[in-house]
Amino acid sequence: MARKQKTPRWLEAARRKGPEAPVGPRADWLARALGRAGVLPRAGAEQAIRDGRVEVDGRVEKEPFAPVGAGTRVRVDGVEHALTRRVWVLMFHKPAGPVVHGSDPEGVGTVFERLRAVLPPELQGFEWYAVGRLDRDTTGLLLFTNDERLVRHATEPRTHLPKRYVARVEGLPSEAALARLREGVLLEDGPTRPAEAVLRSPGVVVLTLTEGRHHQVKRMLAAVGHPVLALHREGVGRVALDVAEGAFRRLTDAEVTQGLGFPSGEDLPE
């Protein structure tokens, strides 16, 4: 028996609002729009809405999933805010320890906490989404964005966005081991796509992948007899890590469109 698909809450809210609900590529729902525009992060926006602190077109709105559009007038605590849709991307140098999750049961902390600790006030109001994941012990380039569409673009398997890793491994990989990595390795979840693999120095392999399976770098290197001792990501697309550990910077528009291959313009599909 086919499972009935649940209607998204934003769509339910739009249907309740009736024919005057905003439609089209720039339509959004209230809490997410506030996070995208840098007014309030998602959790704070939802709380402010439920507390009656948010007005939409002159009326208090207590539904976080209420539909809004480009021309919707929104006020928070009496101050009007433009629901801009500009895509921002941050480069962050992840240290070893924090996890790429909303919470850490081990108490070390999350990358979101580490990022917010170094953000200036003008960037604190955005909802920041991690673009992919890095393991707790993996360091290096982690991207964040205020727009989920970029997350989907960068992590979609069909995009084949290259990601470059530097791995310190056990032993000294031979040319035959590197050739196996270049051709693709058979893992328990199927063969990998061909990868770029070079020896940077004794015991250090640079591996560039165009897919992103769970623990893929570690599993590929273990499969050719060289378990990973330390792993660092130094590039995504044509964007290379260039900030100190624990620091961040904004990507330029050119880095977003050319370096990550993300389409420019505001009216992108959701």
Tokens of 232: 């660092």
Dihedral over Cα of 123, 125, 131, 132: its sign: positive
What's the half-sphere exposure (Cβ side, CA atoms, 13 Å) at 61?
24
Alpha carbon distances (Å) from 12 to 24, 42, 245, 254, 257: 16, 19, 44, 38, 34
Q: How far apart are CA 214 and CA 168, in angstroms?
A: 19
The two beta strands, 228-236 and 139-145, are parallel
Q: How far apart are CA 73 and CA 55, in angstroms?
A: 8
First to last CA, the chain: 30
Q: Helix, strand, or coil here: 146?
A: coil
Q: Helix, strand, or coil here: 182?
A: helix
Give, as one character, the DSSP assignment of residue 56: E
The catalytic residue positions are: 135
Helix (H) or strand (E) holding 112: helix 111-118
Q: Helix, strand, or coil here: 152?
A: helix
Tokens of 122: 């003008």
